[in-house]
Structure 1
């Protein structure tokens, strides 16, 4: 496990807020030189604490404004890898969470409209090993970065 100090936590917070933030912008806020900030960020990347940089997209502006969680229950002998593969093949799936207990997985989907949602759920049900679904519509969300 990588040791993380308060300065590292500050750098991570700043990068979560804006992944395009420059080392020269961050340096004065943490009281280090630009080179020292670069070394710390490089160390956080090399140790796997920072796994990548990404862009955040407002999907509703692209017409994909409906989100839901779909609980999937599988036959008792279905391997976890197959659970993930089933949902991975579906472009509307944003994330798959395999969980302990019933259901077996929680699938986050994003779709254009209710008809599109029905199509996605029908597709997940046709995999053969799915024995049940339950859909939970997302009305709003907040995510800690």
Structure 2
């Protein structure tokens, strides 16, 4: 197990572990499973949310809402245009993920669209018009074999 981040203790890790498995689990149920007061859980969750360690959201499966094409896009950008390129991607509705990376490419993004035609239009009408992009490597996912969001292990026993 990785070292604990300052301010996150074993109780916080247990709470996070339960919530990652079921974000709708009640504070009362978590408290009963861990063996602490419900108020303790409520206060800890509030603190974890305030520090940014925890966000409680509804996770949408893009394919279940018609976004059947998912593409990872590697982008090489001009050095002085890197932030501009990243900001342009962040503003595009089709883009769900943007990060700066090391290696031959500088930006990694993920795009979700409904069809190959829509992906082609996105590339031609939006991506290729961003100033500062030198080259791209577009990788279309064929089949998702694993997509997990549970980063915590072994704390809810």
Contact 2:74/2:105 (8 A) holds in 1: yes
Correspondent of 1:48 among 49, 52, 58: 52
When the two structures are superposed, what TM-score results if normalisation uses the length of structure 1?
A: 0.88
> Hey, what does 2:94 align to over in structure 1?
92
Instruction: Say which SS state the counterpart of residue 56 (structure 1) adopts.
Output: coil
State the distance in 2 between where 1:31 and 1:10 align: 11
The unaligned stretches of length 5 or more in structure 1 are: none
Instruction: Report the Cα distance in structure 2 between the residues aligned to 1:133 and 1:47, rounded to whole angstroms.
Output: 36
Structure ranking higher on relative contact order (CA contacts 8 Å, 6+ apart): 2
C-alpha change, 1:112 and 1:32, in structure 2 (3 Å) is same
Number of aligned residue pairs:
143
Structure 1 outlier segments of 4+, above 4 Å:
none
Cα RMSD (Å) of the superposition? 1.6
Shift of 1:102: 1.6
Note the 1:1-145 alignment, pairs <5 A: 2-50=6-54, 52-80=55-83, 82-122=84-124, 123-138=126-141, 139-140=143-144, 141-145=146-150
Q: TM-score, normalised by structure 2?
A: 0.82
Deviation, structure 1 residue 43: 2.4
CA contact (8 A) 2:18 2:25 kept: yes
1: distance between equivalents of 2:95 and 2:20? 23
How far is 1:21 from its partner?
A: 1.7
CA change 1:58–1:79 in 2 (3 A) is closer
CA offsets, 1:23-56, max 9 Å, x none?
1111111111111211222222233322x22101
Judge conservation of contact 1:87–1:93 (CA < 8 Å) in 2.
Answer: yes
Equivalents in 2 of 1:104, 1:4: separation in Å?
A: 32
Aligned partners of 1:72 and 1:105 also within 8 Å = yes
CA distance in 2, matches of 1:42, 1:120: 39
